[in-house]
Structure 1
Amino acid sequence: MEASYILCGGVSTLALKSPGSLSLRLRPNEMISLYSYSRNNGVFFSSRIPRRILAGRSSGAEAVSTKRRSRETREDSGAASKKSFKRVAESTESGRQLGAQKNGPSSVRALYQNGDPLGRRDLGKGVVQWICQGMKAMASDFAMADMQGEFSELKQRMGPGLTFVIQAQPYLNAIPMPLGLEAICLKACTHYPTLFDNFQRELRDVLQDLQQKSLISNWRETESWKLLKELANSAQHRAISRKTSQSKSVHGVLGLDLEKVKAIQNKIDEFTNQMSDLLRVERDAELEFTQEELNAVPTPDENSNSAKPIEFLVSHPQTEQELCDTICNLTAASTSTGLGGMHLVLFKVEGNHRLPPTNLSPGDMVCVRTCDTRGAGTTSCMQGFVNNFGEDGCSISVALESRHGDSTFSKLFGKNVRIDRIYGLADTITYERNCEALMMLQKKGLKKKNPSITVVATVFGDKEDVACMEGNKLVDWAEEDLNGLLDTGFYDSSQQKAIALGLNKKRPILIIQGPPGTGKTGVLREIISAVIRQGQRVLVTAPTNAAVDNMVEKLSEIGSNVVRVGNPARISPAVASKSLAEIVNTKLADFKSEFERKKSNLRRDLSHCLKDDSLAAGIRQLLKQLGKTMKKKERETVKEILSSAQVVLATNIGAADPLVRCLDSFDLVVIDEAGQAIEPSCWIPILLGKRCILAGDQFQLAPIILSRKALEGGLGVSFLERAETFHEGVLATKLTTQYRMNDAIASWASKEMYNGLLKSSSSVTSHLLADSPFVKELAPQPSLCSLLMLLKCNS
């Protein structure tokens, strides 16, 4: 291997090739750096060496020699030097021995390529603080260059891997190393994943601090943060930061040899990289569409005779506004915090007028901005959703993502506000949670502690690999014996097969394709009912709130302990009693009543002692402590309710809520209507369970994709559709008998989309609409043929 060794001391640089030995004469207090770089393998190593230590290399082995000063002018100074030198030498040697004991022989290549950021357990608190100080200085320079418009030159010098490490060295050199920890600092200062991880954290803190000081408007939109994300998403960064020990940790769990596990990881990397790129393309399309919607001004009805200009409709009394998706001339009246930390803002109509007629309803995604006297938006859009409308008809409550301290949020108060419903509003939370799911899949999909490790390996492994997996062989994926588990006479053969496969605990994943009217929901209900009778916990998700609420209704019929997690404003009133917020409010009714009584008493006492500063401060502290007690009680109640629930239901995106993610892993994850969901969103719930069932029909509604590029790239292919063909179809089963349509209708659908496999039940083969008990019988009407004959005769 051709290697170059670069010595840097002061401003002098000397490049050598494979030196056998090296000795240097250094000035007092001088520090040098030894860099080794191989173009073939990307190996990088640096040793920052104090003046008392000379480093040499011979035949690839590292040797360290020390030499004390031979002449000391003062006895006490000489003693101090000896003690100081001894500490440095001992720390260097002990650090080397510690590294040898922990990681075996020092390997430059392993050090550089290992993707585990080193933390306090590896480095100690002092070294971590030293790195943080250096990276904070580097982050501050980045942010300052960004603000001053001098970022282009800095951007050209920045890059992942070795380039980043070299850029970080001056900032680390400027920070004194903690005494006695020099050897560990030398190890950490060249470890790219550690440096990058700390730099990312420090840059975020610096930018957020600048935003709080109103020096920047949105820290996520700065050039420095965009560059950081660009580096993090680069192929080189992903290759370096991937953990080398990961495949070893799952080798024994899956029962596969090391090479096959690495091949599976490579497939995961390829998939997550592709999906991440497509999500970014789709996100850009959503933002563009959203901006077009926001720029659109409500127009009068074309059939209206009103000659009033549009400006008048959106800027004058609210009663003049048309029935539309926009409400103008609102003012922010108050703020509060809802369950789960929702930030609620109450908006009222200017002049205490009533709200105009509007299409807005609870749960709608909206954009909130300040507006001028003509109704035009003057600030950036703050995303939120309608929580509820006031009973007096004069107010509307909106849950916003922005919070106190956000410069945009502070601009709402004291100004006119405009609320727009945007059908295609780009949802930041949805995008971030989808990206986070892909990151979790890539980083932790094959980790030993991942409950869904067999699901991940089954999806991304070859059929031969899956057949060899430890304790999970294909021969064990047969149908479960249903004797005694359910009334088999109530289900047809295809439904019985689906239920039997779904109850097999050794099958990590099952795909149930259910064409219209085949009883898919009933099959899922039966599987879930049988599973919870066995003492297992189930997570049920779907891409839409309507589909989740439908499952809540079905599962409530069997008397199971069901909890619906999600925004109360988007939950159907029919299942509101099963929502987490409603259950918490019911359980805490007495506690909240007592809380409000104490709060009222303290506020009354406070009003009587405003002149006594010390007493007033004490009462304010009691009020603050009372609020903390309430929040703590809410958290404990939420955890208790969710932990005891047999079935937890949420949307795919809602399953990423910290309230759900902090729970113990689920025994089974069921995703209904999976054909409507993009694949990244399906991995959110899947990674929370030991096995999963995906049900739906890819020939019905497909995922909604705005970008043609993302659609052609594969983002529109649902997980249900992709997984159906895995391993020669062994993961999937079909429901083949429909109970909804006349055979004349069903036969066409069967032929065109289901290869003739969909059959009609005898109970509906000749079923007509007139046979329905909900259709009233009308007087006989002339047929169309009779009418045509009559018209012909008259002509």
Structure 2
Amino acid sequence: MAGKEHFERLQALIDLEREAEKQENLRELRKFPVSQRESRGKTVTGLIAEAISGGMGGLTMITLSRAPKGEELAPFHAMNAGDNVLLTLSPGNEFLTVEGTLYKVDEYRVTVAMTRAAPEEPIRGHCQIDLLGSDATYQRMRKALITVSESKRSRLGALREIFLGEQQPERVRAPKVIWFNRALNEYQQSAVKASLAAQDVALVHGPPGTGKTTVLVEIIRQHVARGERVLATAPSNIAVDNILEKLLGTGLRVTRLGHPARTLESLRHGNLAAQIEEDPAYEEVQELDAYRERLIHRKSRHGRGIQQLGHEERQLREREVGKLWRQARDLESEIAR
């Protein structure tokens, strides 16, 4: 019962945090200049309304885009499908604000499901999107909590009981260790041995500067030497980069996940995106993306852009653009394997 109450309390706290984030983002809209919000990925300006259509459940869908400006990060780098946003539109000569949910997110294009009907007048001029909160993130956290709390007769359920103190973790006799890093002191070696002996969980604790990352690297190398694959995570990008930097010098095959722009420049060659680009097959990805961009900006035989096309012709163009995008991403996934 205590475990059930624990997870119910966590879910209630997640809901409070979600609402607090939304209110904080609304305060930021009033407090910080647009340029500062845009640099943080919380706002995207200069958007053109490409299309407005009906979607599932009678929702009004609006597609907005912005041409690339040579920026290091794409304008929607901090936004994901499912995020709550505030739209500022410009029908006629007035400005209209309406809340919505991101339905589809590309590098320079988004589709938003609006909470109200589209304005009757055409949308002219530039539009703006402000992030109100990542609902998708909270949905994932909520789903994870439910999965853990309801798991039965599984490895996940056993780990839950261990972390709640309802079950003792298992340990085996520490294996004989052939050290990769012979400079480890007595306490660091003890931490490595304790981790290797743990069958469920091991906690390595120490103040800053005591060599915890060095210990972690040794633990990873020991597991890899056994023929195992290791996933290393950390609470911040800089912490992940610290691990990456030490591992790259060991000769192990290491891949850093995450956006390259959030990886230290000196370590970007270890990022998955950089490794994909080095693959010979990546040229085909570039060709598909280049053709997709040309198709987006191609005018009809009457000189009309995509936003001036008829409904049927625009739908056909959008389907072809979407197909090219999926082909490029599927090929990237194959290369990543």
Instruction: Tell me the TM-score range normalised by the shorter chain.
Output: 0.5 to 0.7
In the other structure, the counterpart of 1:332 is: 48
What one-letter code is carried by the residue in structure 1 that aligns with 2:333?
V
Counterpart selection for 1:379 from 92, 98, 102: 98
From 124, 127, 144, give the equivalent of 1:417: 127
Counterparts of 1:167-178 in structure 2, within 5 Å, are none
Aligned length: 297
State the Cα distance separating 1:590 from its structure 2 match: 2.9
Looking at structure 1, the residues matched to 26 and 290 of structure 2 have their Cα atoms a distance apart, in angstroms, of: 47
**Amino acid in the other structure paired with 2:194:** L
Aligned residue identity for 1:346: R
Q: 1:270 to 1:525 in 2, by over 3 A?
A: same
Gaps of 5+ in 2: 52-62, 302-311
Show the 5 A alignment for 1:755-770.
none
1:435 aligned partner: 142
- The residue number in structure 2 matching 1:171 is none
How far 1:562 sits from its partner (Å)?
Answer: 2.2
Which residue does the alignment assign to 1:369?
A: 87
* 1:752-784 CA-partner distances (Å, limit 9, x unpaired): xxxxxxxxxxxxxxxxxxxxxxxxxxxxxxxxx
Cα gap change, 1:589 to 1:641, in 2 (>3 Å): closer
Task: From 26, 39, 49, give the equivalent of 1:291.
Answer: 26
Residue 545 (structure 1) shift: 2.4
Q: What does 1:388-427 align with in structure 2 at a 5 Å threshold? A: 403=111, 414-418=124-128, 426-427=133-134
Structure 1 584/554 Cα, relative in aligned 2: closer, same or farther at 3 Å? same
Partner secondary structure for residue 331 of structure 1 = strand
> 2:168 corresponds to which letter in structure 1?
V
Q: Which residue of 2 aligns with 1:556?
A: 248
2:196 aligned with 1:503, yes or no? yes
Structure 2 partner of 1:459: 163
Which amino acid in structure 2 is aligned with residue 380 of structure 1? E
Q: In the superposition, relative to structure 1, how do residues 362 and 562 fare at CA in structure 2: closer, same or farther (>3 Å)?
A: farther
Q: Deviations over 1:336-377 (max 9, x none)?
A: xxxxxxx9942689xxxx99xxxx999566966315699977
- 1:542 match: secondary structure: coil
- Aligned letter for 1:500? K
Rg comparison, structure with higher value? 1
Q: How many angstroms does 1:276 deviate by?
A: 0.7
| Matched residue SS, 1:559 | coil
Unaligned runs of 5+ in 1: 1-265, 299-313, 315-322, 336-342, 388-396, 609-616, 643-795
Contact 1:329 1:418 in 2 (8 A): yes
1:492 aligned to 2:185? yes
Give the whole-Å Cα distance in 1 for the aligned partners of 2:295 and 2:99: 40
TM-score (normalised: structure 1): 0.31
RMSD after superposition: 4.9
| Equivalent in the alignment of 2:57 | none
Amino acid at match of 1:631: R
Decide whether aligned partners of structure 1 residues 570 and 486 sit closer, same or farther in structure 2, where only a CA change above 3 A counts. closer
What secondary structure sits across from 1:294 in the alignment?
Answer: helix
Provide the rounded CA distance (Å) in 2 between the counterparts of 1:439 and 1:525: 33
Contact 1:333 1:346 in 2 (8 A): no
Alpha-carbon distance between aligned partners in 1 of 2:75 and 2:100, rounded to the nearest angstrom: 19
Q: Any idea what the Cα deviations from partners look like across 1:116-173, whole Å, max 9, x if unmatched?
A: xxxxxxxxxxxxxxxxxxxxxxxxxxxxxxxxxxxxxxxxxxxxxxxxxxxxxxxxxx
C-alpha deviation, 1:409, in angstroms: 11
Provide the secondary structure at the position in 2 that maps to 1:284.
helix
Residue 336 of structure 2 corresponds to: 641
TM-score when scaled to structure 2? 0.67
Q: Give the C-alpha shift of residue 428 in structure 1.
A: 1.9
Q: How does 1:687-766 map to 2 (within 5 A)?
A: none
Residue type of the partner of 1:513? H
Q: Would the aligned equivalents of 1:502 and 1:510 in 2 still touch at CA under 8 Å?
A: yes
- Which of the numbers 219, 242, 250 marks the counterpart of 1:527? 219
Partner of 2:205: 513
328 and 447 in structure 1: CA distance in 2 versus 1, 3 angstrom threshold: closer
Superposed displacement of residue 536, structure 1: 0.8
Provide the rounded CA distance (Å) in 2 between the counterparts of 1:596 and 1:364. 21
Equivalents in 1 of 2:5, 2:27: separation in Å?
A: 34
Matched residue, 1:276: 11
